[in-house]
Amino acid sequence: MIVERIKKIASDIHPLVIAHRRHLHAHPELSFQEKETSAYIKKELSEMGIPWQPVSENGVVALIRGGKPSDRVLALRADMDALPIREQNRLDYCSTREGVMHACGHDAHTASLLGSAYILNALRTEFGGTIKLIFQPGEEKLPGGASMMIKEGVLENPRPEAIIGQHCMPSLETGKIAIRPGKFMASMDELQVWVHGKGGHAAQPQQNIDPVVIAAHIIVALQQIVSRTANPSHPTVLSFGKVVANGAINVIPDEVHLEGTFRTMDESWREQAHTAMFRMATGIAESMGGACEFRIVKGYPFLLNDEKLSESVRAHAIEYLGPEQVVDWDPWMAAEDFAYYSQVATGCFYLLGTGNVHKGIMSALHTPTFNIDETALELSTGLMAYLAMKELKN
Ligand code: NI
């Protein structure tokens, strides 16, 4: 049975995969600066005898050709960048770089894909077709490593018919994975707003055009885009996390700066919402005697899990893990640049449970105490190898 053989190898190499993950965790690199991480991946692939090529800034693509005749191609993807966060964990393998931390588990994704590569390479006489391994940089930063890798042809020569990726999820128990077929993660746009008025003494409002009051109206009014303009069946979020007025107790400033994020799961509504927000914000500012500059920096598209592929991945995951270990998940308003692959190829992105309440491993993604239960890495390496082999056969 192939499941047993994969599980045996995954168990044998589990210490090695943990070592990869700890090495990467101790040496995190920010988005598009992943020189050493990229070199580490290349060295490990070379040691396994797997041919690789560099793609884009620090990206690596590798091919494992199965021994049986087939021209089918499937891609597996891992990201590799860290975040500008100062680690607060006390671990032997803590970040050695001040202010940089693998707080989103991309160290685990890369280590896991190296483990899956080992398994698939060891079992390559057992399958037909080609596995394309994609190690991509810059997931955390616009324009997203995925979009750059795609532009530079990572999905060509050979072109994969499907692509599978995974992400650590601390609120899901280790031993489980979660899949959401269809719309899974949100598009993400950055909003940059400058509200211009006329500053002056706070005791003489009649002589000023108060941008603070205008900005307050804009913030409140824009929520109507979410509650009154959006189709309730398209999940939509608008949040302003930065509001800078820089006046004083008795000083009205000339300008207020706002920064926020707009997220949804429908590309045509996303475009309409941009226009509606722009019109509302500039209209309010003008009606109050001020002016508003409203800039939208487009981020990642929404992430669509192909229904058929996701159901197939779910069925195979159940074969590998058992039915209780494969759970459903709600749509998630976080953004992920795997979405770029899912827009141009058949994609499935699932969540890997890495939390463990008994071990106290519960911190959320992007926090200074984020960590994973490393027992999850035995499951993740074997499962992804199994999914790849099954999809090539399907
Ligand atoms: Ni991430």
pLDDT at 166: 98
Q: What is the CA(83)–ligand 1 centre distance, in A?
A: 9
Q: Which of 166, 144, 145, 165 is nearest to 60 (CA)?
A: 145
SS3 237: strand
Q: What is the CA(334)–ligand 1 centre distance, in A?
A: 9
Reported as a single tens digit per residue, the pLDDT across 282-296 is 999 999 999 999 999
Reported as a single tens digit per residue, the pLDDT across 198-220 is 999 999 999 999 999 999 999 99
Domain ranges of the chain: 2-184+302-393, 189-298
Which is higher by pLDDT, 57 or 203? 203
pLDDT at 5: 98
High-pLDDT (> 70) share of the chain, %: 100
Reported as a single tens digit per residue, the pLDDT across 234-285 is 999 999 999 999 999 999 999 999 999 999 999 999 999 999 999 999 999 9
Q: What is the CA(184)–ligand 1 centre distance, in A?
A: 14
Q: Which of 7, 175, 27, 140 is nearest to 94 (CA)?
A: 27
Q: What is the CA(166)–ligand 1 centre distance, in A?
A: 9
Contacting residues for 275 by C-beta, under 8 A, at least 6 apart: none
Query: Hey, what CATH class is 189-298 in?
Result: alpha beta
Tell the CATH topology of 2-184+302-393: Aminopeptidase (3.40.630)
pTM (two decimals) = 0.94
Q: What is the CA(167)–ligand 1 centre distance, in A?
A: 6
pLDDT at 394: 81
Tokens linked to 228: 């009154």
Q: What is the CA(112)–ligand 1 centre distance, in A?
A: 14
CB-based neighbours (< 5 A) of ligand 1, an ion: 104
Q: Do 2-184+302-393 and 189-298 show the same overall fold? A: no
N residues, the chain: 394
In contact, 169 and 353? CB cutoff 8 Å: yes
E strand spans, the chain: 52-55, 59-65, 68-79, 128-136, 162-173, 177-179, 182-185, 187-196, 200-201, 236-244, 251-252, 255-264, 291-298, 303-305, 326-328, 346-355
Q: What is the CA(105)–ligand 1 centre distance, in A?
A: 6
Q: Place 60 in a pLDDT band, splitting at 50, 70 and 90.
A: very high
Q: What is the CA(247)–ligand 1 centre distance, in A?
A: 37
Reported as a single tens digit per residue, the pLDDT across 132-176 is 999 999 999 999 999 999 999 999 999 999 999 999 999 999 999
